[in-house]
A = this chain, B = another copy of it.
Amino acid sequence: MIIDCHGHYTTSPRQHETWRQEQIAAHKAGQSAPPRPTISDDEIRASIEGGQLKLQQERGTDLTIFSPRAAGMGHHLGDASTSEAWATACNELIYRVCTMFPRNFAGVCMLPQSPGVSPRNCIAELERCVLQYGFVGCNLNPDPSGGYWTDPPLGDPYWYPIYEKMVELDVPAMIHVSMACNPAFHTTGSHYLNGDTAAFMQLMSSQLFHDFPTLKFIIPHGGGAVPYHWGRFRGLAQAMKLPQLGEHMLNNVFFDTCVYHLPGQELLAKVIPVANILFASEMIGAVPGVDPETGFNFDDTKRYIDQLPLSPESLSSIFEGNVRRVYGRLSKQLEVQLGET
């Protein structure tokens, strides 16, 4: 089984995103949001069958761990109440996709974050999505301000309420920023990668995994700059008198394979232990289009991994075993979704 741990619903029916624009416009005008639009099963089916499902079949993957569009989370827009309404709407759509295509998708929720608002306000939505919808994880935005980085670092007790709930529910978080509203950053070109690198260093500088030994994070986009600079991070850990980096970080931190060329994948597999690499593509996501150097889509990451000098056991870990281990509820949830209980 090949499990892609990083997919977003980038093809959701148009009225969903239109409502979001109306919601934020209403908020700015000091008015109530309009009622949420009707979205039919047929519309959802069409958006998936022509998108993620089609690419799963073409690329030979089986299951996508699926969450709301990352850039669309827009935690910097509106306030805590608009974030809550938007997260609810987005997560409900993911649930409907997983219900309609139970063999192909497992759900991960976005959280109703808002800059300067305690992540405590995200607990109810996380609990609802995990316990009622059967979701297996969440996306956590380390910078709800959208590029101004005004919230405390991830090691700060500010974040502990959501970590306590994650541990209790046995769900990991993918650390994923959203759209940059700071003109210094290009959302998918620099803000995403910088969020990954900043988050890794925040975790590394913290006591977090001492306080929460079973807390698990996936750092997407191949870990930002981290594997390329693994020697730098090993050296910094040593200079900071931390334990060796593997021991200090790799029981709790995992990297996905959203790296869009073979040399990058080679580096990732060479530097990071196999047990810490999770297959992912973020297909129909940040980087569309066909690479003229290969004739295949940039984000068809399975093709790169198939070319790596890895044993069948290692490939199986990356494509399936590690994902099931890190997303601790996934295997049981799949039994439920496939009706095999």
Which residues of A are interface residues toward B (Cβ below 8 A)? 142-143, 147-153, 182-186, 188-190, 193-194, 197-198, 200-202, 204-205, 221-222, 224-225, 227-236, 238-239, 259-264, 266-267, 270-271, 286-289, 291-293, 298-299
Contacts and interface: CB of A to CB of B under 8 A. Distances in A.
Closest 7 CB pairs between A and B? A231-B261, A225-B225, A231-B260, A228-B228, A235-B287, A235-B298, A149-B184
Contacts of A299: 235
A152 B298 CA distance: 30
B153 A225 contact: no
Contacts of A229: 193, 221-222, 259-261, 264
Q: Which of A200, A235, A266, A267 has the most CB of B within 10 A?
A: A235
A204 to B, nearest CB: 7
Nearest to A259: B229
A220 B296 CA distance: 31
Contact of A225 (B184, B228, B234, B271): B228
**How many monomers of this chain does the complex have?**
2
A239 B297 CA distance: 12
Given A193-B229, A198-B194, A287 B222 contact: no
Contact of A201 (B153, B185, B204, B234): B185
A274 to B, nearest CB: 15
B225 A197 contact: yes
Nearest to A238: B289
Given A184-B153, A205-B186, A228 B231 contact: no
B228 A201 contact: no
Given A149-B147, A231-B261, A264-B230, A197 B190 contact: yes
Given A193-B194, A228-B264, A230-B264, 11 more contacts: A147-B149, A184-B198, A185-B201, A186-B204, A193-B225, A228-B267, A229-B261, A231-B287, A235-B288, A235-B289, A267-B267
Nearest to A142: B184
A190 B183 contact: no
B184 A151 contact: yes
Given A228-B227, A230-B261, A236 B189 contact: yes
Contact of A264 (B201, B204, B267, B287): B267
B228 A287 contact: no
A228 B222 contact: yes
A287 B237 CA distance: 9
A225 B186 CA distance: 14
Contacts of A236: 186, 188-189, 286-287
A185 B228 contact: no
Q: Which of A221, A231, A271, A293 has the most CB of B within 10 A?
A: A231
Nearest to A192: B232
A264 B189 contact: no
Contacts of A227: 228
A291 B235 contact: yes
B205 A289 contact: no
A286 B232 contact: yes
Given A197-B194, A198-B184, A233 B267 contact: no
Contacts of A198: 184-185, 190, 194
